[in-house]
């Protein structure tokens, strides 16, 4: 499942013509994946590179910002749909082996950056 999310973060969303609530649900799912991935990458980096304190702090700060963003999206969904929102924490199927784990982490970080484009929520043309 996370392979699909990771390989297509930039193309993950429904077309602009769909109902906003469906679009917000998709955004919420991707944010949950990014947050869980950042937490795992931080744990990995603490183990592999224990002396890179600044990097660890930066990863933790970004993970916290992603969690805040996900919370804001959930609030928007509650306000607009008037129902509580629940999002499952995705299961991360990381590859085995240090090199492949580092490749996976690099891929997730690179592709997550593509996710945050200006038209993320806007209706578009």
Tell me what pLDDT residue 124 has: 45
**The two three-digit tokens of residue 92, written as one number:** 């991360």
Distance CA 123, CA 102 (A): 36
Q: Which of 12-16, 41-45, 79-83 has the lowest mean pLDDT?
A: 12-16
pTM for this prediction: 0.74
pLDDT at 63 over 90: yes
- For residue 84, what is the enclosing H or E element? none
Q: Which of residues 82 and 71 earns the better pLDDT score? A: 71
The mean pLDDT value for 59-82 works out to 86
What is the per-residue pLDDT across 22-62, written as a single tens digit (0 to 9) for each?
A: 777 788 888 888 899 999 999 999 998 999 999 999 999 99
Tell me what pLDDT residue 52 has: 93
Tell me what pLDDT residue 46 has: 93
Distance CA 34, CA 101 (A): 15
Q: Which of 1-15, 58-72, 91-105 has the lowest mean pLDDT?
A: 1-15
Tell me what pLDDT residue 121 has: 54
């Amino acid at each position: 499942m996370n392979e699909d999310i990771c390989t297509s973060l930039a193309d993950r969303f429904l077309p602009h013509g769909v109902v906003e609530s469906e679009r917000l649900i998709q955004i919420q799912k991707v944010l949950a994946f990014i947050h869980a991935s950042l937490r795992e990458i931080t744990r990995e980096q603490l183990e592999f590179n224990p002396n890179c304190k600044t990097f660890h702090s930066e990863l933790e700060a970004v993970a916290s910002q992603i969690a805040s963003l996900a919370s804001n999206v959930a609030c928007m969904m509650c306000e607009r749909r008037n129902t509580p929102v629940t999002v499952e924490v995705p299961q991360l199927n990381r590859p085995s082996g240090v090199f492949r784990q580092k490749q996976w982490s690099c891929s997730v970080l690179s592709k997550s950056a593509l996710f945050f484009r200006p038209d993320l929520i806007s209706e578009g043309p």
